[in-house]
């Protein structure tokens, strides 16, 4: 005999169980299995433009998609590590005369040098840090291009934001003095006080001092091309250094329509172009010695000092452990000769072999700024990784695009994970949780929006509107490139 009312309850329980089984078998969408998702997590809610009118609104979250390219689904047993990835913040001194915004119109290699939301990069990075802080990760991977133009003041501000405390983003004379002033007649630039969507006072907000909560977690730097090269392309030259700390900013290109070489822009080309550009129209800016250009060595030293990580040597190649079960290997692929593409040197391949050998039984993640698969000699490095069954993922930034692909040449294979930038839409960071499963290992990954704040919210909306930015270029990627359960 059953008690009255027990029968419907039993039926409900059976139905719930059946739904759960069906979901498990189908293996399409699933929720994370451990700690509840924090408020900035895109699992709970995220920014969408459902009606396609160019305005982001808070919409429903995106559930995780199970990907079984490398291994079948397996029941999770325990969390081994929780990582967060911040990449391509491009913290910039938007008032700097050394920024080649006028070259934007020539196309590559200096594309998207101007962004409508560029004055708000410190605030965006701060709100990204706030969102990551709520995750309470075991480690934060800062995968390069922390700054935009390899300037000392950019690096100082960016490191302060990550550390936390009072941030003064202004440079030069007090107040805003850049291409977005409403007095700038160049129609290329978005001027918040006069252009739609109008944000009067935005530039004042951008230059106002604010407090950053900081990461409050150990963070590990990766060198990006923009950290070490001017505009991410060019090694510093005496002429560029004079321009950076000087008082003349080019505002219009000389009358020529020639395109710049795509690669290998040497000092002679740079100086010649600079001379031509400065012969055109310029505007006066207040000089600021803080804008001096950093050499790659100086950039590495600043990153090491601030993070407390990064070993020694001229390149930022190093490894570190996250808990007992994960070893992370960091590669510095920046080509010191110039250009934005990554280069894997022979010594780095050898270092990688040695580092893998020393990793023991720990799982391994390899992290670089430029994706190995698109870097010069990157395939050599990948082949080394192919042979090691403990390698579970290779993480990168640089492309500003979310993309997750499986690589399986020999052995169990691993995941190639690329993460979008904070500079362009969708302005998100990535969370990665390494989970031991019954049959292997699982990477739970999901995107994290920047925490809400006036400046960061405006920056996100402007980034979405940007016709040269992440929206039209599909930087957010497909759904399976964002929130996914990656079985291996």
Q: Does 374 engage in binding with other proteins (CB under 8 A)?
A: no
Shortest separation between residue 181's beta carbon and other proteins, angstroms: 11
Q: Does 255 engage in binding with other proteins (CB under 8 A)?
A: no
Q: Candidates 28, 39, 111, 182: give the one binding other proteins (CB under 8 A).
A: 182
Pick out residues in 39-58 that bind other proteins (CB under 8 A): 51-55
Q: Candidates 29, 38, 45, 105: give the one binding other proteins (CB under 8 A).
A: 105
- Residue 301 contacts by C-beta under 8 Å, 6 or more apart in sequence? none
SS3 265: coil
Q: Does 4 engage in binding with other proteins (CB under 8 A)?
A: no
Q: Candidates 390, 471, 482, 488: give the one binding other proteins (CB under 8 A).
A: 471
Shortest separation between residue 469's beta carbon and other proteins, angstroms: 9
Q: Does 258 engage in binding with other proteins (CB under 8 A)?
A: no
What does the per-residue mask of binding to other proteins show for 142-161, with x meaning CB under 8 A?
A: --------------------
CA distance 350 to 366: 14
Q: Is 56 in contact with 464 (CB distance < 8 Å)?
A: yes
DSSP of 127-182: HHHHHHHHH--SEEEE-S--BSS-BHHHHHHHHHHHH-EEE----SSSS--STTST
Shortest separation between residue 468's beta carbon and other proteins, angstroms: 7
Closest listed residue to residue 440, CA positions, set 172, 77, 51: 77
DSSP summary character for residue 345: -
Shortest separation between residue 189's beta carbon and other proteins, angstroms: 8
Query: With respect to other proteins, which residue has the nearer C-beta, 189 or 446?
Result: 189
CA distance 396 to 138: 19
Q: Does 309 engage in binding with other proteins (CB under 8 A)?
A: no
Q: Does 282 engage in binding with other proteins (CB under 8 A)?
A: no
CA distance 19 to 21: 5
Q: Is 431 in contact with 137 (CB distance < 8 Å)?
A: yes
Pull the structure tokens for residue 451. Answer: 């925490």
Query: With respect to other proteins, which residue has the nearer C-beta, 182 or 347?
Result: 182
SS3 324: coil
Q: Does 312 engage in binding with other proteins (CB under 8 A)?
A: no
Q: Candidates 47, 110, 220, 464: give the one binding other proteins (CB under 8 A).
A: 464
* Contact residues: other proteins, CB under 8 A: 51-55, 105, 182-183, 185-191, 194-197, 257, 464-468, 471-473
């Amino acid at each position: 005999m059953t008690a009255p009312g027990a029968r419907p309850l039993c039926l409900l329980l059976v139905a719930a169980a059946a739904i759960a089984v069906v979901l498990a078998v189908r293996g399409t969408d699933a929720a994370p299995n451990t700690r509840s998702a924090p408020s900035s997590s895109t699992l709970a809610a995220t920014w969408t433009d459902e009606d396609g009118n160019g305005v982001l609104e808070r919409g429903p979250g995106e559930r995780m998609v199970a990907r079984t390219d490398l291994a079948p689904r397996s029941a999770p047993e325990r969390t081994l590590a929780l990582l967060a990835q911040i990449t391509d913040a491009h913290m910039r001194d938007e008032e700097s005369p050394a920024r080649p915004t006028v070259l934007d119109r020539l196309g590559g290699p200096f594309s998207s040098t101007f962004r409508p939301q560029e004055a708000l990069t410190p605030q965006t990075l701060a709100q990204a840090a706030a969102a990551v802080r709520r995750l309470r990760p075991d480690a934060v991977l800062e995968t390069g291009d922390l700054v935009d133009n390899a300037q000392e003041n950019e690096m100082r501000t960016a490191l302060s934001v990550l550390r936390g405390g009072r941030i003064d983003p202004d440079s030069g004379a007090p107040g805003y003095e850049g291409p977005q002033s409403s007095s700038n007649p160049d129609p290329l630039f978005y001027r918040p006080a006069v252009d739609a969507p109008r944000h009067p006072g935005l530039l004042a907000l951008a230059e106002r001092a604010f407090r950053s909560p900081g990461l409050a977690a150990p963070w590990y730097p990766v060198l990006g091309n923009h950290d070490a090269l001017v505009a991410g392309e060019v090694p510093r030259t005496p002429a560029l250094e004079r321009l950076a700390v000087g008082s003349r900013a080019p505002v219009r290109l000389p009358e020529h329509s020639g395109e710049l070489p795509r690669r290998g822009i040497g000092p002679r080309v740079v100086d010649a172009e600079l001379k031509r550009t400065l012969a055109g129209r310029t505007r006066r800016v207040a000089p600021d010695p803080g804008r001096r250009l950093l050499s790659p060595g100086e950039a590495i030293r600043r990153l090491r000092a601030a993070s407390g990580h990064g070993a020694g040597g001229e390149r930022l190649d190093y490894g570190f452990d996250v808990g007992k079960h994960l070893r992370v290997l960091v590669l510095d692929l920046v080509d010191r000769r110039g250009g934005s593409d990554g280069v894997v040197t022979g010594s780095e391949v050898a270092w990688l072999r040695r580092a893998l050998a020393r990793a023991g039984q720990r799982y391994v993640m390899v992290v670089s700024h430029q994706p190995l698969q698109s870097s010069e000699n990157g395939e050599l490095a990948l082949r080394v990784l192919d042979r090691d069954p403990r390698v579970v993922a290779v993480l990168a930034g640089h492309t500003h695009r979310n993309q997750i692909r499986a690589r399986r040449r020999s052995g169990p294979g691993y995941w190639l994970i690329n993460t979008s930038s904070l500079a362009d839409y969708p302005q998100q960071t990535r969370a990665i949780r390494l989970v031991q499963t019954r049959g292997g290992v699982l990477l739970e990954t999901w995107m994290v929006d920047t925490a809400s704040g006036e400046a960061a919210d405006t920056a996100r909306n402007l980034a979405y509107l940007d016709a040269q930015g992440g929206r039209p270029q599909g930087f957010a990627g497909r759904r399976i490139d964002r929130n996914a359960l990656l079985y291996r």
